[in-house]
Amino acid sequence: MNKLSFPNVTELDAELPLYLTSIGHWDYQERTRRPEGFPDYQWLQADAGAGELIVGDKRYAVKPGQGFFLFPREAHLYQPVADNWGVHWMSFNGGLVPSLLRQAGIIRSGVFALSAPERIIAHFDQIHALSLSRIPLLGMEISKLLYAFLLDLSRSVRTGASSADHRLAKLQPVVRFIEANSHRPISIDEMAGAIDVSVQYLCQLFKVGMRMRPMEYVNRERIKRSKEWMFREPGIKMREVAAKVGFDNPSYFSSVFKRIEGMSPEQFKLSHGRNS
């Protein structure tokens, strides 16, 4: 069923970090050619038939379960190559869009496979329904839904999304091991042993699943615990905090804390009123 909505974007809405400019669905997507591109970011998602996208000298096939992202003001053409090419579409803008796209690994226009296409379509339905309402501060409410949409899109289209989800699931026993043992020195061999893999494979899992090295995750867990100790026991000495969260060397604890938090442990205590 064809449907479309063009929200009234006020000056206040245009100052939001995310705002919607149009949304809809075509049962029969027609050939669309834009030599000057489009003023906003666009996400289009096929749910039936087949089509193709042409951006620059690249030509992409677009099938159900896939979507394509278009950056603003970039010449493009998309068209059906089979009957009944059904397409959901959404255009939006805002200062937060570039950083959310980087998280998804979307750095240029193109076609992306989706690990959960039905989840993304559910966002379309929810945002479209809200865009037709007359509630106060509609732009802000839509902005909240857009944020959730882009986070789920990031998870679904990130390079190797299904593989990344698998890696995150495989890392869960390691994460639980770290949480249970961060109060003491932990070797990378122990972490690999928690899921019976090689150290090299463990590092690969962390790189793809969490975008950091295993010991970086361990240190971040320790710094989190150190902040909890400072709040529970305001009078505790920093060398005691360091020992309780698995750092043998108080100076190294302070160095890691400052690198992660941007301030020393003592400054953190003062900034939170824990100066006793």
Residue 191, C-beta contacts closer than 8 angstroms, at least 6 positions apart = 174, 177, 178, 202, 214, 218
User: pLDDT value at position 243?
Assistant: 95
| Count of Cβ atoms closer than 10 Å to residue 207 Cβ | 13
Amino acid residing at 98:
P
For residue 232, the model assigns a pLDDT of 87
User: Computed over its alpha carbons, how large is the radius of gyration of the chain?
Assistant: 24
- Tell me: the pLDDT tens digits for 39-48? 999 999 999 9
pLDDT of residue 275: 64
Residues of the chain with confidence (pLDDT) below 50: 159-162
- 77 bridge partner residues: 33, 54
Q: Where are the beta strands (DSSP E) in 35-73?
A: 41-48, 51-55, 58-62, 66-70
DSSP assignment, residue 29? P
Q: Is 238 left (phi over 0), alpha (psi -120 to 50) or beta?
A: alpha
Q: For residue 16, how many other CB atoms are within 10 A of its CB? A: 21
| 129-132 long-range contacts, CB within 8 A, separation 24+ | 131/5, 131/7, 131/20, 131/23, 132/5
Helix (H) or strand (E) holding 5: strand 3-5
Burial class (CB in 10 A: 0-12, 13-18, 19+), 178: buried
Q: How many helices (H) and strands (E) does the chain have?
A: 11, 10
What local confidence, expressed as pLDDT, does residue 235 receive? 87
Distance CA 272, CA 263 (A): 12
Residue ranges and CATH numbers for the domains of the chain are 3-159 (2.60.120.280), 163-271 (1.10.10.60)
Question: 3-class SS at 89?
Answer: strand
The length of the chain in residues reads 276
Model pTM greater than 0.85?
no
Per-residue model confidence (pLDDT) at position 242: 95
Distance CA 76, CA 79 (A): 10
